[in-house]
A and B are shown apart, each in its own frame.
Chain A
Amino acid sequence: MLSFFIFYFLLFLAINKILYTKLPLFLKLQRTKRDMVIRRSMDNLPQELVSNILSRLPSRELLKSKCVCKSWYNLITNPYFTTNYYSFHNKIHSHNLLVIQRPLISSLKTNISLLSPTLNDPKNHVSSSLINLPKEYISDHKYWSEIIGPCNGIYVLQGNPNVMMNPSLGQFKTLPESHLIDSSNGIYSLTDYASFGFDPKTNDYKVIVLKDVWLKETDERQKGYWTSELYSLNSNSWRKLDSKALPLPIEIRSSSSQVYTYVNHCCHWWSFVNDENSLGTKQDFVLSFDMVNEVFRKIKVPRICESSNETFATLVPFEESCTIGVIVRGNVKKHFDVWMMKDYWNEGSWIKQYSIDPIELVINHRFMGVIGSNNFLWKCSDDDDGLVLHEHESQKTRGIKVNDNGKYDDSFRAVVYKESLVSLQRGN
């Protein structure tokens, strides 16, 4: 009986000893199993996972990420990644604005700031940060009065000098002067209209400029006549377009063409032609320039405005629908009608989409642009000093403060800000 008991007691001690020495190892093996699974997963992280994380970073961070290893370099420099990044990243971080402003005090130094309105914030707070400009642009004699874009995240600043930039990568390229209008021809130009876009066939960013024509001899303007010049980033040079390329005579209505309207690789301006037969009648057109084929086209517009002089019409792009439209302010009714071409290639497809109810704040102020497919931005220089954003879907209107306590004058310009990996660095 006793030996029976002793046997089981010794067995008990033996088992304990085994567990005591072996159990930690057993537990360690379990931990190691988890570590191994994790190590294996992260090392062989599929491209889509790396891509998902990287696409959320600001483009300047991706410049760093290119240096991590070769497979990451190949991933990021792939054109498909650049295109996907542009739509994926900017969808997550939408509603950011780029604003150019000139300080009130004597000098004309232009500041560019990035505004990030916090959505769903009842106090409409906006965080604002200045974009760092290269030293060569910080001078009393350098200034910008207009900003056009974005086109794949690229912008053009008009002023002295003209600059093409990718602000998200901190790239700035001063455009050379064109010197194409030779005063020895007996003509000069006073006003120009510029726009720009992308040619996917040659992977080139081009700037198109229309210049009016004045005769030196008489100091008179040649009504309805324009010359056109084209700049190419790839060749870093200007060239004059054939005078027959433009469907002349034509007049540009500058007040209606102030929003960058670029869709289907074409730039657009609101224009009209004086009807020679019946005095005073004008036929409205949209003048378009195709960046790929480098040709102009006139798009007929129906009688939208009751009278071109009394109403304010602004040409706008509807990017998501790949078409153009017009925002018309009714003089008497104090609301805005939104017109659109249902089919961009069919002149007869203009229809009125909807009306925006009276927004007292903006009635007399400048329309700045469209964000997304149905959010509208006006400039409002009242006490709040800034912009007014109207979101059609939610029918909400909110103010966005721009002017920092009266430091700047009110001639600011605002455009949508987009992050982009497109580099302006070319072979030349």
Chain B
Amino acid sequence: MAQEASSSTSSKTISLKTGDGEIFEIEASAAKQMKTVQRLIDDLGDDITIPLHNVFSKELPKIIEYYKKDITGEITKDFEAEFVKDLNDDEVKVLFLAANYLDANKLFEFLSQNIADRLESKSVEYVRKYFGVENDFTPEEESKLREERAWSFRGIKEDE
């Protein structure tokens, strides 16, 4: 586990291998931000290619792009808006899961907020499909829920 003394540790890169076999390089300082990767480095050493079974070649470059910007301290609201601008809801979902797997906190919180923003005006049915959950309410339970909801945003009468 002894780490080789490097003349320029700031330029040390780590090799990551995705679940579909592709290899990407990231800086050691960026790897630190992904706690899962850092744990694997601590266990396996930083000269070995780190295998990431649950992250794929479609997502990893985007994640690397985010942390490349982060280590230079340049993440602004504009950068974040650009980052997700061309992603559809499913692509954000996949990135979110990858950030969770990698334990990349900053990206995780940002994507969690972005998903919340995207879901804000969506229907209940859309949310069910998005999270892959089934409607397990009976019709009676559903009408009771509707009644409960009606109490809000309508106020109550004085003689109730």
By a beta-carbon cutoff of 8 Å, the part of chain A in contact with chain B is: 30, 33-34, 37-39, 41-43, 45, 49-50, 52-54, 56-58, 60-61, 63-73, 92, 132-137, 161, 169-174, 423, 425
Contact = CB atoms under 8 A, between A and B. Distances in A.
Interface in B122-160: 124, 127-128, 131-137, 142, 145, 148-149, 151-158
Contact of A54 (B19, B20, B116): B116
B56 interface: yes
B113 interface: yes
Contacts of B152: 60, 63, 169-171, 423
Given A38-B94, A170-B152, A425-B151, A30 B20 contact: yes
Contacts of B64: none
28 contacts: A30-B20, A33-B19, A37-B19, A37-B56, A38-B93, A42-B97, A45-B131, A50-B131, A57-B116, A60-B152, A60-B153, A65-B124, A67-B124, A67-B145, A68-B131, A68-B133, A69-B134, A92-B113, A136-B158, A169-B152, A170-B152, A170-B155, A171-B151, A172-B155, A173-B155, A173-B156, A174-B158, A425-B151
A73 B152 CA distance: 17
**Secondary structure dominating the interface of A:** helix
B128 A68 contact: yes
B149 A63 contact: yes
Nearest to A161: B158
B93 A69 contact: no
Interface in B68-108: 93-94, 97, 100-101
A70 B137 contact: yes
B58 interface: yes
A56 B56 contact: no
Contact of B124 (A30, A57, A64, A161): A64
Contacts of B54: 37, 41
A373 B142 CA distance: 43
A34 B149 CA distance: 39
B153 A169 contact: yes
B115 interface: yes
A170 B112 contact: no
B119 interface: yes
Nearest 3 CB-CB pairings of A with B: A134-B155, A170-B153, A56-B116
B128 A69 contact: yes
B155 A171 contact: yes
B43 interface: no
B142 to A, nearest CB: 7
A416 B124 CA distance: 31
Contacts of B21: 30
A60 B120 CA distance: 10
Given A34-B20, A169-B153, A53 B119 contact: yes
A61 B124 CA distance: 10
Nearest to B21: A30
Looking at B54, B115, B131, B145, which has the most chain A CB atoms within 10 Å of its CB? B131
A33 B112 contact: no
Nearest to B156: A173
Nearest to B20: A30
A69 B133 CA distance: 7
A114 B106 CA distance: 29
B117 to A, nearest CB: 8
Given A38-B94, A132-B153, A171-B151, 4 more contacts: A64-B127, A68-B133, A69-B137, A161-B158
Contact of A43 (B58, B132, B142): B132
A172 B158 CA distance: 10
A134 B157 CA distance: 9
A56 B112 contact: yes
A134 B120 contact: no
B94 to A, nearest CB: 6
B156 A174 contact: yes
B8 to A, nearest CB: 36
A368 to B, nearest CB: 27
A231 to B, nearest CB: 15
Nearest to A39: B132
Looking at A39, A43, A63, which has the most chain B CB atoms within 10 Å of its CB? A63
Given A66-B145, A68-B135, A69-B135, A57 B155 contact: no
B115 to A, nearest CB: 5
A67 B148 CA distance: 11
Contacts of B101: 41
Nearest to B113: A56
A22 B23 CA distance: 24
A67 B158 contact: no
B158 to A, nearest CB: 5
A134 B117 CA distance: 27
A287 B148 CA distance: 39
A173 B157 CA distance: 8
A134 B154 contact: yes
A162 to B, nearest CB: 11
B18 to A, nearest CB: 9
A58 B117 CA distance: 10
A92 B112 CA distance: 12
Contacts of B148: 425
B116 A67 contact: no
Nearest to A63: B149
B115 A53 contact: yes
A45 B93 CA distance: 11
A34 B56 contact: yes
A72 B120 contact: no
